[in-house]
Amino acid sequence: MKELERAWRWREERGLFGELQALRVFHGPGEGGKELRAFAIDRFGGHYWVTQWERAAGGGVPAKILDFLRARGAASVVTLSRPEQGVPEEPQVLLGEPPEGRFTVKEPGLKFHVQMLKARHPGLFLDHAPLRQWLFRRARGWRVLNTFSYTGSLSVAAGAGGAAHVTTLDLAKPAIQWAEQNWALNGLASESARFIAGDVFEWLPRLRREGKLFDCVILDPPSFSRGKKGSFSTAKDLKKLHAEAMALLAPGGVLVTSINSAQISWSRYEADVLSAARECRREFEILSRIDLPETFPTRLGSEEDRYLKGWILRARQ
Ligand SMILES: C[S@@+](CC[C@H](N)C(=O)[O-])C[C@H]1O[C@@H](n2cnc3c(N)ncnc32)[C@H](O)[C@@H]1O
C-alpha cells in the first residue's frame, strides 16, 4: 500500500485535488513496485477508473488497490483491461455504483463530461491536461482547428481561453456529439464553433479549397486507424498529415503536434515533421515540448514508457 499512499500524498501536498477534479492519482510504470507496475488509477470526482495493461493479465485488480480507494471514500471503482493490441473490453464495476450516464468533472477553468460505464475510455485523456491549460492561457483571439478531436477537450480549452472560432474534427460521430456537449457544458457560443464528423485526409484538403487559414492547428492522431480514405498509421503517414496541416496554418500560426506511440522515436518523429515543413517551405520554432506530465511519472532508464511525444511549434512566416 506504501506506493499508493506515497503517490497520493505527493499530489495532495501539491494541491492537485480539487472539487470534482479529474486526475491520475497513481501511475504504475513509475510509481508502482513489481505488483502494481501495470496499473494506473484515474480519479473523476469521487469515482475511480483503474486501467490494467495486459502485462498484469491473470491477477485482476489487487485487493490493496480496492482497500486503498475504499479508505479514501471512493463512491465507485471500475476497471478496464487494455490489451497491447486491439480493442479493450468494457469496464467492470468493482466497487459502488458508478453513474449510469455522463457526469461533470473539472480541471482549472474547464468542465468535461465523462462516462464510467459502457465506454472503452472515460472520454478525457488526463495526460493532455497541461496542453489544455496551455491552450486555455494562450488561445485568445485564435482561429483554431482541432483534428483527431475525440470528445473535444482541447477545443473546449481553446474556446474557454477566448479563441475567436474553433473547428473540431473527428472521424467518429459519437465523439463529435460528445464534443458538442462539452462545448455547451462550458457555456461557449455555438456561433464560434464548427463540428465536423469526417476523415482528416478528406477534410484538410477540403478546408484548404474553402480558403480557410487557422492561427492554430492541433494534430493528435492515434497510432493506427481506419477511415473512409483508407488507413492511417503514425509509422507511415506522419509526414503527409503534417504537410496537409501546415498548408492550413496562417503566417506565424501555431502547430500543436502530439503522438501517442512508444514505437516512434523522437528523432524519427522530428525527421517526419521537418520533412513536411521543407515540402511546404515553412520554418518552425519550438515553443515547447509535449511530454508525459508529472502525474504520469516513469522510471529513469525506461524511456520506452514515455509514449506521449510532441511539440508546440510556431511558424516563422
Ligand atoms: C488519441 S484520440 C485523440 C484525443 C484528443 N486529441 C483529446 O485530447 O482528447 C484519437 C481520435 O482520432 C480519431 N480519428 C482516427 N482516425 C481519424 C481520421 N482519419 N480522421 C479523423 N479522426 C480520426 C478517433 O476517432 C479518435 O477520437
pLDDT tens-digit readout, 246-302: 999 999 999 999 999 999 999 999 999 999 999 999 999 999 999 999 999 999 999
Domain span at residue 210 reads 126-315
Contact of 25 with 44, CB cutoff 8 Å:
no
- Is residue 181 within 6 Å of ligand 1 at its C-beta? no
Do residues 138 and 236 share a domain?
yes
- What local confidence, expressed as pLDDT, does residue 59 receive? 67
Q: For residue 234, is it within any domain?
A: yes
Q: For residue 121, is it within any domain?
A: no
pLDDT at 24 over 80: yes
Q: What CATH number is associated with residue 47?
A: 3.30.750.80
Do residues 140 and 277 share a domain?
yes
- Global pTM reads 0.96
Do residues 248 and 131 share a domain?
yes
Of residues 145 and 228, which shows the higher confidence score? Answer: 145
Total number of domains in the chain: 2
Domain boundary among 93, 114, 135: 114
- Is residue 148 within 6 Å of ligand 1 at its C-beta? yes
Which atom of ligand 1 is nearest to 131's Cα?
A: 8
- Is residue 178 within 6 Å of ligand 1 at its C-beta? no
Domain boundary among 114, 149, 168: 114
- What local confidence, expressed as pLDDT, does residue 67 receive? 97
- Is residue 203 within 6 Å of ligand 1 at its C-beta? no
Which atom of ligand 1 is nearest to 125's Cα?
A: 9
The x, y and z cell numbers of residue 275, run together, are 520533412
